[in-house]
Amino acid sequence: MATSEKQLEELALKQYGEKSVYSRGLENVIIKYTALTFIDGNKGILKYRGIPIEEIASKGTYEELIYLFLYGKLPNREELNKLKDTLNSNYEVPKEVLDAIYMMPKDSDPIALLELSTAVLAGLEKDFKWSKDTDKQRAIEIIPKMAAMVANVYRHKEGKSPKIPSPSDSYARSFLEACFDRKVTDEEANVMDKALVLYADHEVPASTTAGLVVVSTLSDMYSGIVGALAALKGPLHGGAAEAAFRQFLEIGSPDRVEEWFNEKIIKGKNRLMGFGHRVYKVYDPRAKIFKSLAESLTQKNPDARKYYEIAKKLEELGINQFGSKGIYPNTDFYSGIVYYALGFPVYMYTALFALSRTLGWLAHFIEYVDEQHRLIRPRAVYVGPENASWIPMDQRS
């Protein structure tokens, strides 16, 4: 069977002609245009609608980002207030959505619970139609429902009763208070808001691409999110924040980092989770911001500080070992420490990523369906037998 890249390229050419491109993992394939997010992976630059991520993370809020992504400009005060009102009045989810979460065993995977509850929303809205006139508004109404679902996934797993986020001055605050049943401090709300901003979009990674494939069939927005969630779950993508933090837990103390690294990464040849990226060949700019957030947030929290110290040492060893291959910390390396310091259990990290990324998914779906729609339908190179016949059962080996 032909399996080398060269053979596959030749076969693709033979089967589909000169226009065909064979690209394993769709590397270097461009599937859409976007005015949302720009990444220069060699320089470590990330911009949302032209604004550097560093500037957005220090000056902006998630609500402003929702407006920026969907409407292409920063909202004025009146527009922002209107957007906040819409968010605040859309946290409610149908009873069936909560039933779907709470009927499942408590040890169910959080992303599976989100897929399930999002699919319930798709099931309840029977005549979804894409429309340039309403898509953006609809996205703004879906985003708070994700906050309600993520909060209730957490509540269910922690044995708490259902609760819908209450309106407040910030999306991050409403979400945290629905999770924790207490007033959160401004610092906590602010840190959660920054985490939401940092994970809000990243062009077309596996999850966004999976969602785009779904909505390219003109399936509904919710189903697009289900597709994106399914792809996000894997440890090579959104699951990496959890996997990275589990490394820190396994290491347990800063003086064990070197021994663990030699055993697991060098001798064991395991991948260092939270390191490496298909696009970034230098330090992920989001990881730098998460690192400094983790640094300041853990100052007065000795337990979380321990994991920050472990991560810092591990980063140093990882860069020494892999930096020359362009493998550096990605956004998932330090984000878990921030979530941990906020009080979230490790199993929630991918769901928290999803909460934030729902914005990027929806913005890309709308950009694609409303402006540049075409069914996504690639081809595969056929490498099986050319001519074969059906073998009767009693003649089969």
Residue 82 sits in the site that holds ligand ACO (CB under 6 A): no
Q: Is residue 156 among the annotated active site residues? A: no
Read off the DSSP letter of residue 160: P
Report the distance separating Cα 292 and Cα 274, nearest Å. 16
Catalytic residue among 193, 201, 332, 364: 332
Residue 230 sits in the site that holds ligand ACO (CB under 6 A): no
The residue among 39 and 97 lying less far from ligand ACO, judged by its C-beta, is 39
Catalytic residue among 135, 201, 202, 277: 277
Report the distance separating Cα 211 and Cα 144, nearest Å. 19
Tell the residue number behind the tokens 């690209």, with chain if given: 23
CB 246 within 8 A of CB 252: no
Q: Of residues 14-43, which lie at the interface with ligand ACO (CB under 6 A)?
A: 25
Residue 237 sits in the site that holds ligand ACO (CB under 6 A): yes
Residue 205 sits in the site that holds ligand ACO (CB under 6 A): yes
Least Cβ distance, residue 276 to ligand ACO (angstroms): 2
Give the range of 43-51, 85-93, 149-157, 233-241 binding ligand ACO by CB under 6 A: 233-241
Report the distance separating Cα 239 and Cα 243, nearest Å. 6
Report the distance separating Cα 149 and Cα 122, nearest Å. 14
Helix crossing, 349-371 with 110-124: angle to 10°? Answer: 40
Read off the DSSP letter of residue 239: T
The residue among 161 and 270 lying less far from ligand ACO, judged by its C-beta, is 270
The residue among 21 and 104 lying less far from ligand ACO, judged by its C-beta, is 21
The residue among 227 and 274 lying less far from ligand ACO, judged by its C-beta, is 274
CA nearest neighbour of 295 among 283, 307, 279, 282:
307
CA nearest neighbour of 69 among 362, 371, 370:
362
Residue 236 sits in the site that holds ligand ACO (CB under 6 A): yes
Give the range of 114-122, 188-196, 309-317, 327-335 binding ligand ACO by CB under 6 A: 327-335
Q: Applying CB under 6 A, what is the total number of residues that bind ligand ACO?
A: 19
Contact flags string 265-304 toward ligand ACO, x per CB under 6 A: ------xxxxxxxx--------------------------
- Collapsing DSSP states into helix, strand and coil, what is residue 270? coil
- Backbone torsion region of residue 170, taken as left when φ is above 0, otherwise alpha when ψ lies between -120 and 50, otherwise beta: beta
Q: Is residue 373 among the annotated active site residues? A: no
Distance from the Cα of residue 277 to its chain's centroid: 14
Catalytic residues: 277, 332
Would you tell me which residues interact with ligand ACO (CB under 6 A)? Answer: 25, 205, 236-237, 240, 271-278, 322, 325, 327, 330-332
